[in-house]
Amino acid sequence: MKDIELGAVQERFADIVWANEPLGSGELVKLCEKELGWKKPTTYTVLRKLCEKGLLRNEDGVVTTLMSRDDFYSAKSEQIVEDSYEGSLPAFIAAFTSRKKLSKSEVDEIQKMIDGFRKDTKR
């Protein structure tokens, strides 16, 4: 999967598309005016940039995504671990939990995930 870097405003824009797709470009303009306070040219500029980055498609005036919201944020999370923790998930978890203590239910949920991964690797 190709790395797609988005600024905070572009992410908000993409969230609007994810929540409403497929949608006409005119409807997108109205949503961006209401939610972001943008004028039509700003909406079309950001739309064009996200199409160029390979995240969105504007075909015959209908805007859709080329990557799901979950896939985008999963890839973004993977990139953070890679860039900041040399790809080490345990190092990331250690850093995360040094400032935010996990609840018992969070620990239990993570343990279930680990147990599931162990079962999958034994097959």
pTM of the model as a whole: 0.73
DSSP the chain: -------HHHHHHHHHHHHH-SEEHHHHHHHHHHHH---HHHHHHHHHHHHHTTSEEEETTEEEESS-HHHHHHHHHHHHHHHHHTT-HHHHHHHHHHHSPPPHHHHHHHHHHHHHHHHHHH-
pLDDT tens digits, 1-42: 456 788 899 999 999 999 999 999 999 999 999 999 999 999
Q: List the domains of the chain with CATH numbers.
A: 8-69 (1.10.10.10)
